[in-house]
Amino acid sequence: MLQRLLIAAALLVGFPALAQPPVPERMDEVVSAAAADGTFTGAVLVTKGDAVLLDKGYGEADVAWGIPNSPDTRFRIGSLTKQFTAVGILLLQERGQIDLDRPLREYWTRTPASYGNMTARHLLRHRSGIANYTADAAMRGRVGRPATTEEIITWFIARPLEFEPGTKMAYSNSNYAILTRLIEQISGLSYAEFMQANLFGPVGLENTGVDGGGQVIARQARGYAAGSPRTYANLIDPSVASGAGAIYSTTGDLLRWERALFGGEVLGEASMTQFLDADAEQPYALGVVVEDSEDGRTIWHNGAIDGFNSWMGHDPQADITVAVLANMDGRAGDRLGPQLMALARGKPLDAPGERAEIQLDPVQLAEYEGSYALAPTFKIRMFLEGGRLMTQATGQQAFPVFAESRDRFFLKVVDAQLRFNRNGDGRIVSLTLLQGGRETTGLRE
């Protein structure tokens, strides 16, 4: 499920005139390196126009049986699900069954009075102020059991809003749980039935479905925890993810979906305009992130659900599509997806695995410990653990960082670097996060 937009995804890669043709062998090298170092196992598909640049499986779909991943392997896609849910809501609007800007209470009988004039558009763009139910530690004890959409909503509906609808953006899977219920209530179908009848079937997505938990899904990969030796992940029951993250698919089906969606086969022109409605300050549109740079546009989303992670991006100008599906915890999709997009655009690649690591002793590393505030609610904590310098951003797990020079470190789980800044006395006073062409600095607390 998409969270952690600052450190969990590499952003803003562009499309200049290609200085050289894409190199499929180079793409394979990059992904193979991630598979070899144990940070990726899954399937990858990269296309530019009608040309398939890379279409390959890496690692194993089932380690115990030695079954390799392939382009036909089905993976849980996590929050890539959100764009399907958003498109479903837009279809209902095209049919006159909902207006994205009318109050929710006109369509959803359970709308609390505290939600005021909250709309479906607020939910779609994460501007509702509703607390994120998947961030609740108490909920973790429930995720292994099936749940209906109504049960999921019960977990958070009584909580006060975190801000007035429309005034801020805060990623919350609760938004898409309510959108799932809207689809069910308005259509009279279950979420799975609606998706199959209105999206999967008409588009020809034969390897895509809503994983409700319990059923046997042919050619579905097992989900694994990160690290070695390989162990099974503690899987969430997919019904708990609902329309925020319950869909499974293949790289080929995701490409078919992208081509149908951006080819005008799914939504009308007016709906597509709304689907991609975003701005530079808040690039989250309706179930996708839309980012423009001087080099072009990237429409993308990532996903993370226990045992799986994903990333899919599309450059409409260059007609490039990248899909990365992994059956392993971690952020491999966030790292590999933007790298493959850059290669497809003919951009040079500064991959973390190609940076030279130097060794610093624990006394030197201790100098970087502390908390750095990049935003009022987003901090990066640096600390030593077992002689290794670790970083942990607000709401995220901790990851090791690797020195490439004094005061400059890089991560391997995502394409990001950390630069420590000193004052005239040589004391470290701030940290700068460099990621996707952006630099964000936070003062040491």
- What is residue 2's predicted lDDT score, i.e. its pLDDT? 35
**Res. 370 pLDDT band, cuts 50 70 90:** very high
pLDDT at 4: 38
Q: If pLDDT is split at 50, 70 and 90, which confidence band does 188 have? A: very high
Task: Tally Cβ neighbours within 10 Å of residue 302.
Answer: 27
Confidence of residue 252 (pLDDT cuts 50, 70, 90): very high
**Dihedral angle computed from the Cα positions of residues 30, 315, 330 and 392, in that order, rounded to the nearest 10 degrees:** 110
Query: For residue 230, is it left (φ>0), alpha (ψ between -120 and 50) or beta?
Result: beta
Q: What DSSP element (H or E) covers 410?
A: strand 408-410
- Residue 129: helix, strand or coil by DSSP? coil
Average pLDDT value for the chain? 88
Partners of 421 in the β-ladder: 430
- Comparing 273 with 295, which gets the higher pLDDT? 273
Stretch 123-141: mean pLDDT = 88
As a whole number, mean pLDDT of residues 194-217 equals: 93
- Give the whole-number percent of the chain exceeding pLDDT 90: 66
B/e letters for 143-179, b = 16+ CB within 10 Å, e = fewer, are beeebebeebbebbbeeeeeeebbeebebbbbbbbbb
Which residue shows structure tokens 């749980």? Answer: 177
- Tens digits of residue pLDDT in 172-182: 999 999 999 99
pLDDT reading at 108 higher than 80: yes
- Is the Cβ–Cβ distance between 221 and 69 less than 8 Å? yes
Q: Name the band, by pLDDT with cuts 50, 70 and 90, for residue 15.
A: very low
pLDDT at 10: 30
Give pLDDT, residue 395.
Answer: 81
Residue 325 has pLDDT above 70, yes or no: yes
- Structural domains in the chain, CATH included, are 1-349 (3.40.710.10), 362-444 (2.40.128.50)
CA–CA gap between residue 283 and residue 170 (Å, rounded): 12
Give the residue, 288 or 239, on which the prediction is more confident: 288
What pLDDT was estimated at residue 21?
Answer: 36
Q: What is the mean pLDDT of residues 283-296?
A: 86
Determine if residue 269 is left, alpha or beta; phi over 0 gives left, psi from -120 to 50 gives alpha, anything else beta. Answer: alpha
Taking CA atoms, 206 is separated from 199, 239, 248, 386, 431, in Å, by 11, 20, 11, 48, 48
Say whether the peptide bond before residue 229 is cis (omega within 30 degrees of 0): yes
Degrees, nearest 5: CA angle 352-354-357: 80
How would residue 353 be classed by pLDDT, with cut points 50, 70 and 90? low
pLDDT band at 405 (very low <50, low <70, confident <90, very high): confident
Check: CB of residue 90 under 8 Å from CB of residue 274.
yes
Task: Give yes or no for a contact between 127 and 165, defined as CB atoms under 8 angstroms apart.
Answer: yes
∠ CA 128-303-298, rounded to 5°: 85
Q: Tell the residue number behind the tokens 């952690």, with chain if given.
A: 4
Which band of pLDDT confidence, cut at 50, 70 and 90, is reported for residue 436?
A: low
Distance of CA 64 to the CA centre of its chain: 28
**What is the rounded distance in angstroms from the CA atom of residue 394 to the CA atom of residue 404?**
24
Residue 269 reports pLDDT greater than 60:
yes
How many CB atoms are located within 10 Å of the residue 12 CB?
Answer: 17
Give the three-state DSSP class for 258: helix
Cβ-count burial 231-245 (b if 16+ within 10 Å, e if not) = eebebbbbbbbbbbb
Report the distance separating Cα 393 and Cα 382, nearest Å: 9
Which of the two residues, 362 and 280, has the higher pLDDT score? Answer: 362
Rg (CA), the chain: 22
In this structure, of 60-69, 118-127, 338-347, the range with the lowest mean pLDDT score is 338-347
- The secondary structure of the chain in percent helix, strand, coil, rounded to multiples of 5, reads 30, 25, 45
Least confident range of 58-62, 142-146, 171-175: 142-146
Specify whether the CB–CB gap between 324 and 254 falls below 8 A. Answer: no
Nearest-5° Cα angle at 41, 37 to 47: 110
Q: In angstroms, rounded to a whole number, what is the distance separating the alpha carbons of residues 144 and 235?
A: 7
Q: What angle do CA 363, 411, 234 make, to 5 degrees?
A: 110
pLDDT band at 1 (very low <50, low <70, confident <90, very high): very low
pLDDT at residue number 217: 92
Residue 344 has pLDDT above 90, yes or no: yes
**For range 234-243, the mean pLDDT:** 86
Mean pLDDT value across residues 62-90: 97
pLDDT of residue 294: 65
- Average pLDDT for residues 315-322, to the nearest whole number? 96
As a whole number, mean pLDDT of residues 235-258 equals 93
14: confidence class by pLDDT, cuts 50, 70, 90: very low
Q: What is the pTM of this model?
A: 0.77
E runs forming strands in 272-368: 289-293, 296-305, 308-315, 320-326
Mean pLDDT, residues 131-153 = 83
Higher pLDDT among residues 414 and 102, named by residue: 102
Give the model's pLDDT for residue 438: 67
Using DSSP bridges, classify how beta strands 60-62 and 67-68 pair: parallel, antiparallel or unpaired: antiparallel
